[in-house]
Structure 1
Amino acid sequence: MKLYIKYDGIMACRVILQEQLEKHQVKYQLLDLGEIEIDEGVTEERFAEVQESLNRYGIYILNNQKSQLIQRIKDAIVEMVYERDKLPSTTISHYLSEKLNFSYGYIANIFSEYTFTSIENFIIIQKIERAKKLIVEEELTLTEISYKLNYSSVAHLSSQFKKVTGLTPSMFKRIIDKRRLLVNQVE
């Protein structure tokens, strides 16, 4: 029997973190996405156990400051694109500078140096992934999606969608609809 599942990766990660930290009796506080504050009384041995437990789930503790900053940039972008009902009306450079307390020039340089892509490209990819999710799960119109993701027009959204996926949003929706139809026929 084949099962199809839908899950929220951010929620799953939070639950795993909570379960593993409680299992190892570590006092903690979940902060922003990707940030946890733990009690300073944790021994190195217990910390290593927690780290090993989390690694099994693909969750890694970042020790390098630049790696931490890269992850904070990614988390801020994912939070901005996925967790807000509408993207901020300020510029993304201002939003990231305010959120991370660094100049945008510094953030952009570090990000591109370590990820080999620009913040702008990363944001476009995240927005297109969110657009695909909105098309599939919420069945919003392209006008509603372009508004929600702060595109200047449906044409701009469509252009970026095609550049990233190789498909127009309409073609993508038709493929999804055909797959749904086939699945329903098999059942």
Structure 2
Amino acid sequence: MKINIKNMVCNRCIMVVSQIFKDAGIPTENVQLGTVTLKNDLQPEVLEKINARLKTVGFEIINDAKSRLIEKIKAISIDYVYQRNEENKLNFSDYLVAQLNLDYPYLSSLFSSVEGTTIEKHLIHLKIERVKELLVYDEKTLSEIAWEMGYSSVAHLSGQFKKVTGFTPSYFKKLGEQKRTSLNDV
């Protein structure tokens, strides 16, 4: 049985959701961003109890197909930004189509109608949050961060960063971590 869960955005979310199922005595096969695969089916009343527990920590079981697809788009976006490697140097729209095997215009229209923003803007905000994180860690230069995040230049990254945050990357770095946003809120 596969259960789709809303608001899972990081490895810590995976740990929390795994622990909820473990505490309930429900064996899982796999827990990843947005989904939990169970070894056995659950009775509806057990599923409701799990959902109530998930809601106390900011998660929720998703039952309708459109919401599941939106959550998949978000999970793929997060994975694309945070696990960037040579394989996904593809244009994000092509990457998303390859992952979901659905037309991009449909995905874009659905996402915009439900979320009130475009997939592109959502991706930009995710990338900027990742840049903020990398700036706070202070382990890479701005040039290295720009390259890692797929920007054509430091100037392009800096311009987009300022447009989204209102700060230059160097000024943000001086401010530190207090200006970061949770991925749930992106």
Change (3 A) 1:160 1:119: same
**How far apart in 2 are the matches of 1:96 and 1:18?**
26
Q: Which residue of 1 aligns with 2:6?
A: none
Deviations 1:122-165 (A, max 9, x none): 01101011001000014311100000000000000000000000
Q: Note if 1:21 corresponds to 2:21.
A: yes
Change (3 A) 1:32 1:100: farther
Moved more, 148-157 or 88-97: 88-97
- The one-letter code of the counterpart of 2:122 is F
Q: Which residue of 2 aligns with 1:5?
A: none
Report the Cα offset of residue 105 of structure 1. 1.1
**How far apart in 1 are the matches of 2:40 and 2:59?**
21
Report the Cα offset of residue 31 of structure 1. 4.9
* Aligned pairs (5 A) from 1:30-179: 30-85=30-85, 88-176=88-176
User: The residue matched to 1:25 in structure 2 has which SS?
Assistant: coil
Deviations 1:62-101 (A, max 9, x none): 1111111111101100111113356822111110011112
* Bigger strand fraction: 2
Aligned-residue identity in percent: 36
User: The residue matched to 2:144 in structure 1 has which SS?
Assistant: helix
User: The residue matched to 1:140 in structure 2 has which SS?
Assistant: coil
Report the Cα offset of residue 29 of structure 1. 2.2
**How far apart in 1 are the matches of 2:106 and 2:26?**
35
Deviations 1:100-132 (A, max 9, x none): 121111111100111111111001101011001
Q: Does the 8 A contact of 1:161 with 1:167 survive in 2?
A: yes
Moved >6 Å (runs of 4+): none
- The one-letter code of the counterpart of 1:59 is F
Q: Does the 8 A contact of 1:31 with 1:37 survive in 2?
A: yes
- The one-letter code of the counterpart of 1:160 is Q
Greater RCO, CA 8 A, separation 6+: 2
Which consecutive unaligned segments of at least 5 residues does structure 1 have?
Answer: 1-8, 180-187
Normalising by structure 1, report the TM-score.
Answer: 0.84
- The one-letter code of the counterpart of 1:64 is D
Structure showing greater Rg: 1
**How far apart in 1 are the matches of 2:158 and 2:116?**
25
